Amino acid sequence: MNANAYVNDIKHKEDELAIQYLPAVKAMAFRLKERLPSSIDYMDLSAIGTEELIKLARRYDEDINDSFWGYAKKRVYGAMLDYLRSLDILSRASRKLVKAIDYAVEEYMLTHNEEPTDEELAEILGENVEKVHDARIASTIYTVMPLHDQLHVGDEGAALAQVEKEELIEVIKTVLSCYNEREQLIIQLYYFEELTLKEISNILNITESRISQIHKSVIHKIKESVGA
């Protein structure tokens, strides 16, 4: 049976359920794509989400879960994040380069009040421009991951793995309390409201570079606080 015949002759209520929530999956993929570099394809994210949605619809039990979308939403989003993880965006070598880039960007912004270009960074670090460009893309992709992922990436991951979840939560609270109200709001808007850097920039009238800098600073201080 071809695809058109399949759509025109739905035989299972599970497939009807999946089709009903396809627009929600596409909206989720589009929203995630807005926070990612242009190299990541919206269609890939949408396809991964749709595939997961169909699987979930076919094994959904309404006697156990009242709301299908309530049951499926986190799993669909998780499938999209798993796809991003599968790209192997941060190899061991690029993690070291990302660290060096983050430090160089911070130093550069102290005197220039703006982020350096890839070419300027390559000159500062004595690196190939293409490698710098790829590392910055990898770093940008990783910022859409949950905080847990970001804290466990890199050589510090082993140290952080030994920290109990409750202790880590307290560390995060303590670190955030060191930031002013505006900076705390940036973290809240980015991680919990899932706004893009551009949207936060428009709301708070602050540059995207500064938002990115605050975000990286928070991650660094959390790692530092647990001795990573």
Nearest alpha carbon to residue 125 among 109, 105, 95: 105
Query: What was the pLDDT predicted at 10?
Result: 44
pLDDT surpassing 50 at residue 6: no
pLDDT surpassing 70 at residue 150: no
Is 95 a domain residue? yes
The answer on 180 and 121 residing in a single domain is: no
**Burial class of residue 97, CB neighbours in 10 A (0-12, 13-18, 19+):** buried
pTM passes above 0.75? no
Is 96 a domain residue? yes
Is 147 a domain residue? no
The answer on 118 and 64 residing in a single domain is: no
Query: What was the pLDDT predicted at 9?
Result: 47
Is 148 a domain residue? no
The answer on 196 and 186 residing in a single domain is: yes
Residues in the chain: 228
* CATH number of domain containing 183: 1.20.140.160
Nearest alpha carbon to residue 178 among 221, 147, 122: 221
pLDDT surpassing 80 at residue 226: no
Q: Structurally, how many domains does the chain consist of?
A: 3
Residue 183: pLDDT band with limits 50, 70, 90: confident
pLDDT surpassing 50 at residue 189: yes
Higher pLDDT among residues 17 and 82, named by residue: 82
The answer on 80 and 38 residing in a single domain is: yes
The answer on 93 and 73 residing in a single domain is: no
The answer on 129 and 114 residing in a single domain is: yes
Last residue of some domain: 67, 86, 105?
86
The answer on 55 and 81 residing in a single domain is: yes
The answer on 66 and 104 residing in a single domain is: no
Higher pLDDT among residues 149 and 32, named by residue: 32
Residue 8: pLDDT band with limits 50, 70, 90: very low
* CATH number of domain containing 103: 1.10.10
* CATH number of domain containing 57: 1.10.1740.10
Residue 30: pLDDT band with limits 50, 70, 90: very high
The answer on 68 and 26 residing in a single domain is: yes
Tens-place pLDDT, residues 91-123: 666 777 887 888 888 888 888 878 888 999 999
pLDDT surpassing 70 at residue 153: no
Is 149 a domain residue? no
Is 154 a domain residue? no
The answer on 92 and 39 residing in a single domain is: no
- The parent domain of residue 43 ranges over 3-86
Query: What was the pLDDT predicted at 193?
Result: 82
Query: What was the pLDDT predicted at 48?
Result: 94
Is 40 a domain residue? yes
pLDDT surpassing 50 at residue 21: yes
Nearest alpha carbon to residue 87 among 50, 37, 130: 37
The answer on 217 and 168 residing in a single domain is: yes
Q: Which long-range contacts (CB under 8 A, 24 or more apart) does 40-49 make?
A: 40/84, 40/141, 44/83, 45/80, 45/83, 48/79, 48/80, 48/82, 48/83, 49/25, 49/76, 49/77, 49/79, 49/80
Is 124 a domain residue? yes
The answer on 16 and 64 residing in a single domain is: yes
Tens-place pLDDT, residues 51-76: 999 989 888 877 776 788 888 998 99
Contacts of 114 (CB under 8 A, 6+ apart): 207, 209
Query: What was the pLDDT predicted at 93?
Result: 62
Tokens linked to 37? 């570099």
pLDDT surpassing 70 at residue 156: no
Rounded mean pLDDT of 184-193? 84
